[in-house]
A and B are shown apart, each in its own frame.
Chain A
Amino acid sequence: MTWQALQADMAAQNYVASDDLAVALHLALSLGRPMLLEGAAGVGKTEVARVLAAARDTKLIRLQCYEGLDAAQAIYEWNYQRQLLSIRASAEAGETGQAVEARIFSEDYLLERPLLAAIRQDVPPVLLIDEIDRADEEFEAYLLEVLADYQVTIPELGTISARSTPIVILTANGTRDLSDALRRRCLYAYVDYPDRTTELAILRARCPEIEDRLAQQIIGFVQKLRAEELEKVPGIAEMLDFAAALMGLGVADLTADPAVLQSTLTTLLKTQSDRANVPTEVAQRLAGRAA
């Protein structure tokens, strides 16, 4: 398979991948290495994993990182309550201690969490480790261990090796600096806001029924808006919401009704100060120039 084929596969899932991203993903797949995607919020990093899973027709296993995420939540945990019940039940049945111990530390009592689940699939799944920079540094160390050998050691059970190597996608948007060790283990791609043509292609792929003139206006407007000084720059998802809102309201021309444009801006601008920064005049100016 070539990267062009991968790009076409992703396009079939309505994801417009840039050449850079397609080559990087193709290499990650061929070399069996994790892929680290960095970029601002809303440029479609998480979507890559979803689309990849759909294109290759495998499962998507997602691990959402957050501060305080620990091994018990990410790798595995013993089902403690069930173990207790089992001990109590076996005491009545008169089972020997050894038999009980062997039973309660068997796979039946293991709660698998995303990382363990990912390496125990028969068909290689897509493992999405979302917003890795939100997790603590300790967790990054756990992750390195798993990503290095694709195996997990459970003291009571022994080492579980991967049945198939998952396709690992990590995303980060710069909440903190990732360790060099993690960066070195991964292939890297920086996902930026798309340029005009790419974004137009995305809009056409996602909203095929949109009129050409309106699509041009929307993209022009959003691209201009990104150049403004905003706290939270609208991403692709916001742009699609915006387009959906305009189409839902039956707007055919962005410059036609200032009031409608202003009220649909809620889909693009998500903070109070950004709203204040783009009053009607500014929005009209941007829309006028975009037209």
Chain B
Amino acid sequence: MSRVTKFAARDPGPAARMAGFLGHLRFNGMRLGVAETEAALAALTHVDAARPDEALRALRAVLAGCKEDVARFDELFTSYWLNGGRVTSKVMPTLSGRSSDDVRSSRDAKGESAGGAGQATSPDGGEGEAESDGEGKLIATEVRNLMRRDLRDLVRPEDIAEAERVAARLGAALRDRRSRRRKAARRGDRLHFRKVIRQSLASGGEPLRLPMKRRPDRTRKIVALCDVSGSMTLYAQVFLAFIAGLMRADPKADAYLFHTRLVRMTDALRDKDAMRAIGRMSLMADGFGGGSKIGASLGRFADTYARRFVDGRSVVLILSDGYDTDDPARLGDALARLRKRGCRVIWLNPLKGWRDYAPVAGGMAAALPHLDLFAAANTLDTLAALEPELTRL
């Protein structure tokens, strides 16, 4: 028995079948318009359309638009045209037409709810943030599952890719500060008049060459310092993924982590292999989850690495909760010294996302006067939401 689909008797003809097929593809998420139906019909006239394999190849060339489409096209084709001889009752295209493109839903494509695991009125179950012994309530409840797993789970490549995407956007927000001045450039948008006149002297006042100028990008260098002490364990994982993403997205960024001492991990994270980078980072984070000496670590940073790597075009990103076992004054001193290098200092504190949080911890209070931006960040989402604020900085 032929595997070719038997269409219903009142089927109006090949054009309607093709329209039905296009509807079938749209229903399966491919973005196709009316013009494609026409092209598909035209394409079939140029091949032996009675042979399924040829029709498949022709339709695939016309209708698939990327590698993923190509990969699943065979299946979609078979399910519509070769469904084993079963009668289909629906050959007319449904009126709903373009299906999901214009519909926004809070569910993602797999049909699973993207929300957290908890009830709407209580914190998420398990060992989420709610276990921390703060008095406040977590405001950020719309946390995606992805962002509350521990480091080993976060280490899946697609999650790093996610962090990388966020980091790339943030990096761009911080980085692309166009200069006000214009510089000579081979491909500029305006004439470089001074050069035109100067060079025209050589050709007797005739402006033969037209040098151009443009506004160069003044890149900002991002230096990230991540606290991996005990009080930060819950968030360090998100932050480390973020930093790993940042390092992969921005070739100029610089990264350090600290608990009781400071470790530079730029080179480790630059590893081309994302998994190996995380592995090397884990090795360096020896002492992970221990005590924290923020003041001492930042002081060391200001005195050593900052002298080499931090200048007026740098943005120093500190990811810490500010719970310091050192003398708060040391932290203030360290930040003041760091500021003298002309950089911007941004402190992202995961606890700031808690309602009624006040930076009363000694260290945090001492740090506040030296910060350009003090913001909340405990998930990739909140990090991503920082973009507009960083642009304004």
Chain A residues proximal to chain B, CB less than 8 Å: 2-3, 19-20, 23-24, 26-28, 30-31, 33, 38, 68, 70, 80-81, 84, 88, 180, 183-184, 187-190, 231
Contact B208 A81 (CB under 8 A): yes
Within 8 Å by CB of B207, from A19, A30, A33, A84, lies: A84
With both chains docked as a complex, state the minimum distance between the C-beta of A77 and any C-beta of chain B, in angstroms: 12
Contact B70 A190 (CB under 8 A): yes
With both chains docked as a complex, state the minimum distance between the C-beta of B211 and any C-beta of chain A, in angstroms: 12
Contacts of B69 in A (CB 8 A): 188
Q: Which of B58-66, B128-136, B172-180, B233-241 contacts A (4 or more CB under 8 A)?
A: B58-66
- Of all chain A residues, the one with the shortest Cβ separation from B68 is A190
A23-B57, A24-B61, A189-B61 are known contacts; what are 7 more A-B pairs with Cβ within 8 Å? A3-B47, A27-B62, A28-B61, A31-B39, A184-B36, A188-B61, A190-B70
**Given A26-B46, A231-B272, CB of A184 within 8 Å of CB of B66:** no
- Of all chain B residues, the one with the shortest Cβ separation from A19 is B57
With both chains docked as a complex, state the minimum distance between the C-beta of A91 and any C-beta of chain B, in angstroms: 11
- Of all chain A residues, the one with the shortest Cβ separation from B208 is A81
Per the bound structure, the CA–CA distance linking A231 and B276 in Å amounts to 14
Cβ of B187 under 8 Å from chain A = yes
- Of all chain A residues, the one with the shortest Cβ separation from B42 is A31
- Of all chain A residues, the one with the shortest Cβ separation from B46 is A30
Contact A187 B67 (CB under 8 A): no
Contacts of B36 in A (CB 8 A): 184
A-B contact pairs, 30 of them (CB 8 A): A2-B47, A3-B47, A3-B54, A19-B53, A19-B57, A20-B57, A20-B60, A26-B46, A26-B47, A27-B58, A27-B61, A27-B62, A31-B42, A38-B67, A70-B187, A81-B209, A84-B206, A84-B207, A84-B208, A180-B31, A184-B31, A184-B35, A184-B36, A187-B62, A188-B65, A188-B69, A189-B61, A189-B70, A190-B70, A231-B272
**Given A23-B54, A26-B46, A27-B43, CB of A183 within 8 Å of CB of B61:** no
Cβ of B157 under 8 Å from chain A = no
List 10 tightest A-B contacts by C-beta distance, closest first.
Answer: A24-B61, A23-B57, A183-B65, A30-B46, A190-B70, A187-B61, A27-B43, A190-B67, A27-B61, A188-B64
Contacts of A24 in B (CB 8 A): 57, 60-61
Contacts of A3 in B (CB 8 A): 47, 54
Cβ of B33 under 8 Å from chain A = yes
Interface readout for B170-213 with A: 1 if CB under 8 Å, 0 if not?
00000000000000000100000000000000000011111000
Per the bound structure, the CA–CA distance linking A80 and B43 in Å amounts to 46
Contacts of A28 in B (CB 8 A): 61
Contacts of B209 in A (CB 8 A): 81
**Given A180-B65, A184-B65, A231-B272, CB of A33 within 8 Å of CB of B46:** no
| Count of chain A to chain B residue pairs whose CB atoms are closer than 8 Å in the complex | 67
CB contacts under 8 Å to A, within B112-158, are none
- Of all chain A residues, the one with the shortest Cβ separation from B44 is A27
**Interface residue tally on B, bucketed by range:** 20 to 34
Within 8 Å by CB of A27, from B47, B206, B207, lies: B47
Per the bound structure, the CA–CA distance linking A121 and B184 in Å amounts to 37
With both chains docked as a complex, state the minimum distance between the C-beta of A194 and any C-beta of chain B, in angstroms: 16
With both chains docked as a complex, state the minimum distance between the C-beta of A79 and any C-beta of chain B, in angstroms: 12
Within 8 Å by CB of B58, from A23, A81, A184, lies: A23
- Of all chain B residues, the one with the shortest Cβ separation from A31 is B42
With both chains docked as a complex, state the minimum distance between the C-beta of A68 and any C-beta of chain B, in angstroms: 6
Contacts of A33 in B (CB 8 A): 39
- Of all chain A residues, the one with the shortest Cβ separation from B203 is A84
Contacts of B33 in A (CB 8 A): 184
Per the bound structure, the CA–CA distance linking A241 and B262 in Å amounts to 50
With both chains docked as a complex, state the minimum distance between the C-beta of A41 and any C-beta of chain B, in angstroms: 15
Q: Which of B39, B61, B66 has the most CB of A within 10 A?
A: B61
Within 8 Å by CB of B46, from A19, A27, A180, A189, lies: A27
Contacts of B61 in A (CB 8 A): 20, 23-24, 27-28, 187-189
Interface readout for B59-95 with A: 1 if CB under 8 Å, 0 if not?
0111011110110000000000000000000000000
Contact B43 A88 (CB under 8 A): no
**Given A19-B57, A187-B61, A188-B65, CB of A88 within 8 Å of CB of B206:** yes
Contact A31 B57 (CB under 8 A): no
Within 8 Å by CB of A68, from B39, B46, B65, B187, lies: B187
Per the bound structure, the CA–CA distance linking A126 and B261 in Å amounts to 63
Q: Which of B54, B65, B70 has the most CB of A within 10 A?
A: B65
Within 8 Å by CB of B43, from A31, A81, A84, A231, lies: A31
Per the bound structure, the CA–CA distance linking A31 and B209 in Å amounts to 45
Per the bound structure, the CA–CA distance linking A70 and B31 in Å amounts to 29
With both chains docked as a complex, state the minimum distance between the C-beta of A286 and any C-beta of chain B, in angstroms: 22
- Of all chain B residues, the one with the shortest Cβ separation from A87 is B206
- Of all chain A residues, the one with the shortest Cβ separation from B204 is A88
Contacts of A88 in B (CB 8 A): 206
Contacts of B31 in A (CB 8 A): 180, 184
Per the bound structure, the CA–CA distance linking A28 and B67 in Å amounts to 18
With both chains docked as a complex, state the minimum distance between the C-beta of A133 and any C-beta of chain B, in angstroms: 12
Interface readout for B27-55 with A: 1 if CB under 8 Å, 0 if not?
00001010110010011001110000110
Per the bound structure, the CA–CA distance linking A187 and B46 in Å amounts to 14
Per the bound structure, the CA–CA distance linking A80 and B65 in Å amounts to 41
**Given A24-B61, A231-B272, CB of A31 within 8 Å of CB of B67:** no
Contacts of A81 in B (CB 8 A): 208-209
Within 8 Å by CB of B70, from A23, A184, A188, lies: A188
Contacts of B35 in A (CB 8 A): 184
Contact A38 B66 (CB under 8 A): yes
Q: Which of A19, A23, A30, A84 has the most CB of B within 10 A?
A: A23
Per the bound structure, the CA–CA distance linking A189 and B58 in Å amounts to 10
